Amino acid sequence: MEMKEPAIRLRKFLVLVAALTAAAAAYAWYETGGFASQVASVEVRRGTAAEIVYATGVVEPVRWAKVMSLQRKRIVDLCDCEGKTVQAGDVLARLDDSQERAALAEFVARRDRLAGDVARIQGLVKLNATPQTTLDQTTTQLREYEARIDAQKERIDDLVLRAPMSGTVLRQDGEVGEIAGTGANDVMFWVGQPKPLRIVSDVNEEDVPRVRQGQKVLLRAEGFRNRELLANVGEITPKGDPATKTFRVYLNLSDNTPLMIGMSVEANIVTQEKQNVLLLPTESLREGAVFVIVGGLLHKRKVTTGLRGARMIEILDGVKEGELVATPAKASWSEGTRVRTAPPSP
């Protein structure tokens, strides 16, 4: 029994040492944030704050026109001039006019016969062999057919599609033998000037009061993701569309723009801009406050904000340049919450 007592005391001592070591390790783990969740952080920095209005649009020439048939007829001839320069009045296409020319021939024959009748009746009227009313009726019929002939010639002329202006045939649709119609999508030719170009954009009615002529516009197009594309606000249509609740805004492009006719773009109209201000991501704010990270703990700070952009927001008061802010802000966070921080986002 006397020999077992020191062994028991030694065992108790080792257990105590192990417990103290475990407690120290647990405390060290706690102090280094082992029990804390990891959060992303961003550093408060200075930059340019911009308030923008978002819009979408399509690139179009400033001067251009669509050419389509006024009658549903078969195409019998095409100019094959897509991409080529044409002058105003040049023939672009001809449509089948056989029926119209047959009707014209009939009208001409009847007019000629009535003209002969008028000459004959005039002689009879002079001899008092026919009343004046007969001459008046025949003369009226002659004038009616002359008017029909003029109208029929216009119908035949409408079957010849001509360039409405001097410029380039930007696009040509249709083939010989197909039917040209009068539907909204039956445009056969787009003729216009390749330069200058502009963007026809749609702006929501709640945003259009902030849009002014001359404002800078930042553009984004899928085909030119790595290029800076700029424009400026030109004209604003006075009347909006009540169905879509949008206003049409024209954005002017420079002559050296890489954008091509028909491309769709996203436009950010800069309505207000400030230089050298404190900035934070918009998602780092929640209910007018941010969570600043100090010593591994979250501290809630009320902030005063200024310009709000698509991604960043101006901070007027509440944080200082260089402080770390947890982002994105979460409802579960509270004052004093222990966190582990990931490397700050750029």
134-176 per-position pLDDT tens digit: 888 999 999 999 999 999 999 999 999 999 999 999 999 888 9
Cis peptide before 196 (omega within 30 of 0): yes
1 pLDDT higher than 50:
no
Distances (CA, A) of 21 to 27, 29, 32, 288: 10, 12, 16, 45
237-251 per-position pLDDT tens digit: 999 999 999 999 999
- The overall longest dimension of the chain from CA atoms, in Å, is 171
Structural domains of the chain, ranges and CATH numbers in brackets: 34-47+276-341 (2.40.420.20), 53-63+193-274 (2.40.30.170), 68-189 (no CATH)
Sheet with 73-78: strands ordered across: 160-162, 91-95, 73-78, 179-180
123 pLDDT higher than 90:
no
- Euclidean distance between CA atoms 282 and 310, whole angstroms: 8
17 pLDDT higher than 70:
no
Query: How much of the chain, in percent, has pLDDT values that exceed 70?
Result: 87
The token pair at 87 is 């002058």
10 pLDDT higher than 70:
no
Please report the pLDDT score of residue 296 as a whole number. Answer: 84
184 pLDDT higher than 70:
no
Most confident of 12-26, 51-65, 303-317: 51-65
- Return the number of other C-beta atoms located less than 10 Å from residue 180's C-beta: 23
Write the DSSP symbol of residue 339.
E
Please report the pLDDT score of residue 257 as a whole number. Answer: 93
Q: Is the pTM for the entire model greater than 0.75?
A: no
